[in-house]
Amino acid sequence: MTMQEPEHTPTLKASDLSEEIQTKIFELAQQSIVTCKIEKDIATFLKKELDQIYGPTWHVIVGRSFGSYVTHEQGYFIYFYIGDLAFLIFKSG
């Protein structure tokens, strides 16, 4: 993606990821919202990519309204928005 559209700019809420992984997740999330039409497909795309790049077991929740309480591996958690779409991504297992 050569140019970031303002509505596709991530807004970070919480993270304990390395900067390298965080940057990659932002890139993948931006790609997913352009190529996928529904939240389930966005989550599926992200999980498959993360499992392939960084190994299993990633969990990806994407939506406009949800609550959560999760346990994750230290150093593998991020919560952010792109527009009004929330992304909760973490590794556990």
Note the CATH number of domain 10-91: 3.30.740.10
pTM assigned to the model: 0.90
Residues shown for the chain:
93
Phi, psi of 39 (to 5 degrees): -60, -40
10: part of which helix (H) or strand (E)?
strand 10-15
Average pLDDT (14-36) is 98
Half-sphere exposure of 64 (CA within 13 A, CB side): 4
Q: Structural domain boundaries of the chain?
A: 10-91
Using pLDDT thresholds of 50, 70 and 90, give the confidence band for residue 7.
confident
Q: What's 20's DSSP letter?
A: H
Amino acid at 23: T
Give percent of the chain above pLDDT 70: 94
* Cβ neighbours of residue 29 closer than 8 Å, sequence gap 6 or more: 10, 42, 46, 80, 82, 87
